[in-house]
């Protein structure tokens, strides 16, 4: 019996009046005797959904969604609150897995705090589509850095090279009318150390997050951190340029760390306390280095050095917007009131920053260094 036949049988025999609900007793009997082959995890979830309903009815649409490899928030709540629980075998105990499935198992324990979510992601994960966003961003950043490194014959402190600051990718307050610079600065880096730090974090944290939460959510989070970084600098450090993808990187990192803290008991990643301490030390050191380069540059320079405010604004975006995105695994963001509050706040900030860049520089008489 195929799936369509099973769906038709359920609707004709158990819900002839098309009420949208099926009696639990009748459906349980059907599931126990039908010939459709389901993987053990999905069959177990199906029984959990059926037996968790206290009203003696099961929603037909939820059954269709489950059989079609979809989950609704109501199904997840049914599993969490139901009288029947999922089996508690540890994913790490499973043997005979290929390289890809082992990596998926690692990602599930790294990112997801709930055993139900981990099991669901592990069994439903597919190689297509691959996590290409963070990979493409990192590759482009490396290519741009190599091109400028060869052209300038300089691999550290590239911002002290006048030709570097002439790049059309760098954000400079004197060129703020060129809107693309508020985005494109993420492809430029101060030097090899900043590029290495950002690329490492993007791949170690961004790729697993993209595998679990999808390209749309993670790209939105990353780009929101990038845009917030340049706009925040244009408001708080009005004479400084900006380079580097730190705004997006810190949005990803702070969102992941905040998610780990908020779900500390449920996270099963090994050495999570030690790893969190190391991550905070590395991020703090990078911010400290950026502050030092901004206010105490080691070499004489013709103008202000890049600002560090993009790091901080990216962290704020990650804790606010990113934490909600990561906590809403397989749930629609559009149906959550808190999501719209965050979107409204972010849009309000964008509008304020746009008007600030148009009017505030002249009204305040800010002396902008001449653009290169």
Residues labelled catalytic = 246, 311
Between CA 282 and CA 292, with CA 286 as vertex, the angle to 5 degrees is 140
> How many CA atoms lie within 13 Å of 67's alpha carbon, on the beta-carbon side?
16
CB 230 within 8 A of CB 182: yes
* Helices H / strands E in the chain, number of each: 19, 2
Between CA 249 and CA 257, with CA 252 as vertex, the angle to 5 degrees is 120
Give CB contacts under 8 A, 24+ apart, made by 57-66: 57/21, 57/22, 57/23, 57/24, 58/21, 58/22, 58/23, 58/24, 58/27, 59/20, 59/21, 60/10, 60/11, 60/15, 60/20, 60/21, 60/22, 61/20, 63/10, 63/22, 63/27, 64/7, 66/42
């Amino acid at each position: 019996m195929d799936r369509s036949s099973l769906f038709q049988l359920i609707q004709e025999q158990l819900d002839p009046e098309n009420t949208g609900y099926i009696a639990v007793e009748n459906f349980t009997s059907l599931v126990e005797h039908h010939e459709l082959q389901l993987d053990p995890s999905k069959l177990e979830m199906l029984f959990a959904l059926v037996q968790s309903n206290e009203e003696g009815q099961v929603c037909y649409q939820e059954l269709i969604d489950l059989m079609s490899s979809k989950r609704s928030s109501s199904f997840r709540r049914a599993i969490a609150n139901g009288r029947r629980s999922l089996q508690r075998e540890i994913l790490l105990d499973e043997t005979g897995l290929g390289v890809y499935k082992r990596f998926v198992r690692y990602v599930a324990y790294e990112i997801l705090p709930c055993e139900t979510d981990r099991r669901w992601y592990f069994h439903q994960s597919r190689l297509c589509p691959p996590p290409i966003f963070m990979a493409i961003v990192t590759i482009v950043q490396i290519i741009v850095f190599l091109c400028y490194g060869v052209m300038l014959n300089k691999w550290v402190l590239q911002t002290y090279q006048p030709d570097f600051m002439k790049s059309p990718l760098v954000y400079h307050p004197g060129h703020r009318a060129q809107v693309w610079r508020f985005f494109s600065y993420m492809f430029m880096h101060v030097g090899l150390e900043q590029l290495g730090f950002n690329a490492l974090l993007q791949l170690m944290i961004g790729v697993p997050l993209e595998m679990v939460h999808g390209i749309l959510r993670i790209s939105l989070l990353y780009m929101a951190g990038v845009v917030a970084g340049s706009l925040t600098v244009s408001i708080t450090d009005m004479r400084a340029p900006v380079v580097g993808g730190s705004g997006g990187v810190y949005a990803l990192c702070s969102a992941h760390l905040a998610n780990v803290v908020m779900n500390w008991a449920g996270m099963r990643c090994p050495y999570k306390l030690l790893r969190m301490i190391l991550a905070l030390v590395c991020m703090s050191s990078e911010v400290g280095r950026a502050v030092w380069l901004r206010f105490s540059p080691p070499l004489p320079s013709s103008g202000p050095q890049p600002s560090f405010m993009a790091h901080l604004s990216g962290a704020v975006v990650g804790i606010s917007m990113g934490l909600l995105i990561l906590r809403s695994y397989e749930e629609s963001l559009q149906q959550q009131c808190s999501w719209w509050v965050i979107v409204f706040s972010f849009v309000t900030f964008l509008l304020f920053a746009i008007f600030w860049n148009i009017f505030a520089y002249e009204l305040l008489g800010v002396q902008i260094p001449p653009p290169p």
